[in-house]
Amino acid sequence: MKFRSRVDIAAEILDAAKDGQLKTRIMYESHTSVKQLNPYLDLLIESELLEYLPEERIYRTTEKGNRFLDGYQKAWHILFYAKSKKASKQEEAVSIVSSRNNNNSSGQNVS
């Protein structure tokens, strides 16, 4: 598995707990072990991004947690979109240069 930042892991936990989930389900969906998950649960509860409902034994993302997730997802969209847009422009430039080189090598004048 690729490296994930602490923010990425926290976002995965909040996303998994959106509708209320047992700890084991959150662990499964966020790809964490119990040892990894527990400190995150404590931090997210302390930050009021997550709440624990003891009578149901579930964790649920709070409204504040949902706002955090929205911002996180928007930031990733901006980064990914900018990266893919840049890659598309680079691919287009390489294609144009390659096309010109192919035309020049076949004796055609490209001007």
Domains and CATH numbers, the chain: 1-99 (1.10.10.10)
pLDDT value, residue 88: 60
Cα–Cα distance list, 37 to 6, 20, 57 (Å): 11, 16, 16
- pTM of the predicted model as reported, rounded to 2 decimal places: 0.72
How far apart CA 104 and CA 70 sit, in angstroms, is 50
Residues 6+ apart with CB under 8 A from 34: 23, 27
Say if residue 96's pLDDT is above 90: no
19-50 residue pLDDT tens: 999 999 999 999 999 999 999 999 999 999 99
Output phi, psi for 64, to 5 deg.
Answer: -60, -40
pLDDT value, residue 89: 55
